Amino acid sequence: MNRTRTVALSLAATVAALAPALGQAAATAAPGTAYLQDPAGDEHAMKSMWTKDDMHKVEGQLRFHPGVQYKTVTRSGPPEAPEWKRQVGDPKTLAWQPSYEFAWAVSDSALVKKALTTKDGNQPIVLHAVLRDAKGAVAGEVRKELSGQPATGRQKVAGNKRIACDTGRYTVEWSVTRTGYGTLTGSLPWDSSCEQYRTAFAAENGAH
């Protein structure tokens, strides 16, 4: 029976090999997953801004998870063991279902501008991302308003929008807002090609 599942690439080496197909130099791969990150770097890499009075700092980061999905089909085993069944990916059913992972940090200076900062208190945070195709049309969008959040946090928001494979290049525009302080913005490119997954599935289907 066919079933749909979200791919979690299990080997870091496989992820590293597929990362170029997911985007450009900004792509970051980690064991068990693949994503694009703005700004590029590790989980601590953040864009930042200060309020006009230099007393409050807002930092933000976006990880774009393309979210490959596909259906599986049952294939028989080799001639010497035909009873050995296996589930393999069906390349004809490949598609994307992106999600957006935001990180933020809010710092407050106690006495000296841009110094002696603390990260505490409850923070009102607004997360927003728009996925645009090559013509600028909106292909997906998420927005989430959060209240009473810690000064540092991370949250993943499902896009709930299916994107067909091989439909060109897209741009992810994102922002993190600390209400009353300001808004951080960023963007990153994404290529919707599924070619490397399709090639891998074709090889898997042909292995008997």
pLDDT tens, 179-195?
Answer: 999 999 999 999 999 99
User: Is the pLDDT reported for residue 199 higher than 50?
Assistant: yes
pLDDT tens, 36-95?
Answer: 999 999 999 999 999 999 999 999 999 999 999 988 888 777 777 777 887 888 888 899
pLDDT at 196: 87
For residue 168, give Cα distances in angstroms to 21, 46, 192. 12, 28, 6
The two tokens of residue 41 are 């770097």
Is there a contact between 18 and 196 (Cβ–Cβ < 8 Å)? Answer: yes
Q: Give residue 204's pLDDT band: very low, low, confident or very high (50, 70, 90).
A: low
Among the listed residues 13, 43, 16, the one whose alpha carbon sits nearest the alpha carbon of residue 103: 43
pLDDT at 31: 34
Size of the chain, expressed as the number of residues it contains: 208
Is there a contact between 71 and 93 (Cβ–Cβ < 8 Å)? Answer: yes
Rounded CA-CA distance 109/100 in Å is 30
pLDDT tens, 79-123?
Answer: 777 778 878 888 888 999 999 999 999 999 988 998 888 999 899
DSSP secondary structure of 112-140: STTSSEE--S-EEEEEEEEEE-TTS-EEE
pLDDT at 8: 32
Rounded CA-CA distance 38/170 in Å is 15
pTM of the model: 0.79
Beta bridge pairs of residue 126: 145, 177
Domain edges within the chain: 4-206
pLDDT at 203: 67
